[in-house]
Amino acid sequence: MKKRLKYIIAAVVVVLLAYNSVYFEKLSEVKAEAATGKFDAASYAATFWDTKLMPGLNQAVEVNDLMAQLQSDKEAAFKAHSNALGIGNIRYFLIKGEGELSSINENDVTILAMADGEQKPVKIATEFVYGNAVRDALGLVDLNDFSNTMDLNNVSEELNRKIRTEVVPPFRAAAKKGDKVTFIGAIELNKEHLRLDEIEVIPVALEVVKE
């Protein structure tokens, strides 16, 4: 009896040791960890900026034209000009415009964009540059390039950092109220709860026009 008990105890010990020596991990976590250190978000963002975003700026729609389209036929305007990586009401547009710099604030500037007799006050973000608008506005990001959501979000952060450090500072240093300004940038709109009086542009090109 004692001998059998020893065998039972020994078997239990072996099982416990074997159990504790094995570590189970979700396949998705394994893939994410495998990608860590391999994906260079800064390099991807730089290449995306130079080879896709900049060449695609000619696809930007003039802001007053877009506003008119959204008011007359919202569905058609969203279908023609918006993009997003997923489904849902949040969509992104690439817009452009030019006009007079009417105000310079701590976190943004306002431009009175003129086109075909129409004038639209447009707020351009210069401080709080965040979100996925620039990344997704042209619909050129390939999801197959990413193994996890973190890498995808890091690309947005790198693009926004480039805007904060390279696009905005030269403009802020040179701009003064009354200047003529041209801009191209991305905006986010909610198709279900459309508010055209609250748009804010994340700029990818922002310049004072020299007379």
pTM attached to this predicted model: 0.80
- Domain limits for position 75: 2-208
Q: Which pLDDT belongs to residue 145?
A: 86
- Number of structural domains (the chain) is 1
> 88 with 136: CB under 8 angstroms?
no
**The CATH number of the domain where 81 resides is what?**
2.40.50.420
- 3-class SS at 105? coil
> 149 with 61: CB under 8 angstroms?
no
How does pLDDT run across 12-65, given as a tens digit for each residue? 444 444 444 333 333 344 344 444 557 999 999 999 999 999 999 999 999 999
How does pLDDT run across 87-130, given as a tens digit for each residue? 899 999 999 999 999 999 999 999 999 887 778 899 999 999 99
Say how many C-beta atoms besides its own lie within 10 A of residue 172's C-beta.
13
Q: Which amino acid is at 67?
A: M
